[in-house]
Structure 1
Amino acid sequence: MQWTKKEKAAEEIQGSKVGIEAYGDNFWDSEGVLLNDYLPKGTTMNGQYYANLLVQAREAVVQKRRGKLSRGVLFLQDNASVHTARVSRQALKDTGFLEIDHPPYSPDLAPSDYFLFFPI
């Protein structure tokens, strides 16, 4: 494709639809994926939805990683508003997971940048 005029390029971009929009959460450990969740169309991610996911993640640990919950589960999340909502904070406390501090605006790579997405 060759663009000859700036205006033509803008027209083509405005008229095209690219891909689909989806939001997903993944809960995983060093052994693999524990839980995948994709936000249903028309649903908003909020503190209550995320709190429910934490309960599901705990159940996934109980079912898929027998004995690990009693040894302590370290949990890392960023500081997104759904993660810091009161209902989410309480749900995380109720799971018994031990939260690892993640500094805001940290330049560190997420652990998933190292090995998670290859097996998926």
Structure 2
Amino acid sequence: MLTDEMKRQRKTTCAELLKHYEEEGEEFIQRIVTGDESWVHHYDPESKRQSMEYRHKSSPSPRKFKAVASARKVMLTVFWDSDGIVHIEFLKQGNTFNLERYISTLRKLSVRLKRVRPTKHAILHHDNDREHTSRQTEEALHKMNFVVIPHPSYSPNIGPSDF
């Protein structure tokens, strides 16, 4: 159940975004860089020896006696805009996703954006995870000159992505 304050905040956020769109049009949409994290399965389906074998396109695939996928979950952080993926990063196994890690990722994203989208002044859109909304993150985003689209609280139905 949303309180009246939450409803007001949601309406204000939506009105601000519509105002920007009315003023800038498609340029506003093209400047938005969306980011999110998700756990994904990582597979190594072929052994090194199998990948070195030469096979013709029409030849049958080699038979494996025991097919065991080396599946493990890894954290994927991805940022994209209307032109495609801008930055992608996998969290190495054994590491944890925390505030310092997220700020480090944002620094890498900032450098990458300057290289691949130099003419755009990016607007960042991410959800309200603790790492995304902490004071340290907000300070780091301010230092990197990121503008952040406010994400309405308690809005799981409008998450930034569902990749």
Q: TM-score, normalised by structure 2?
A: 0.52
Residue matched to 2:151: 102
Unaligned 5+ runs, structure 2: 1-69
- In the alignment of these two chains, the number of paired residues is 94
**SS of the residue aligned with 2:72?**
coil
Residue matched to 1:39: 91
The letter for the 2-side match of 1:103 is: P
In the alignment, structure 1 residue 89 sits paired with structure 2 residue 138: yes
Residue matched to 1:3: none
Unaligned 5+ runs, structure 1: 1-17
Residue matched to 1:10: none
Residue matched to 2:107: 55
In the alignment, structure 1 residue 76 sits paired with structure 2 residue 125: yes
Distance in 1, Cα, partners of 2:161 & 2:126: 11
- Give runs of ≥4 in structure 1 deviating > 3 Å: 107-113
Question: Which one scores higher on RCO, CA 8 angstroms, separation ≥ 6?
Answer: 2
**SS of the residue aligned with 2:154?**
coil
RMSD between aligned residues: 1.9
> What's the offset of the Cα at 1:96?
1.1
Q: 1:27 aligns with which of 48, 61, 79?
A: 79
> What's the offset of the Cα at 1:104?
1.8
Q: What percent of counterpart residues are identical?
A: 33
**SS of the residue aligned with 1:33?**
strand
**Normalized per residue, which structure has more strand?**
2
Distance in 2, Cα, partners of 1:23 & 1:35: 14
Distance in 2, Cα, partners of 1:47 & 1:111: 19
> What's the offset of the Cα at 1:110?
3.8
Distance in 2, Cα, partners of 1:107 & 1:49: 24
Q: TM-score, normalised by structure 1?
A: 0.69
> What's the offset of the Cα at 1:93?
1.2
> What's the offset of the Cα at 1:20?
2.0
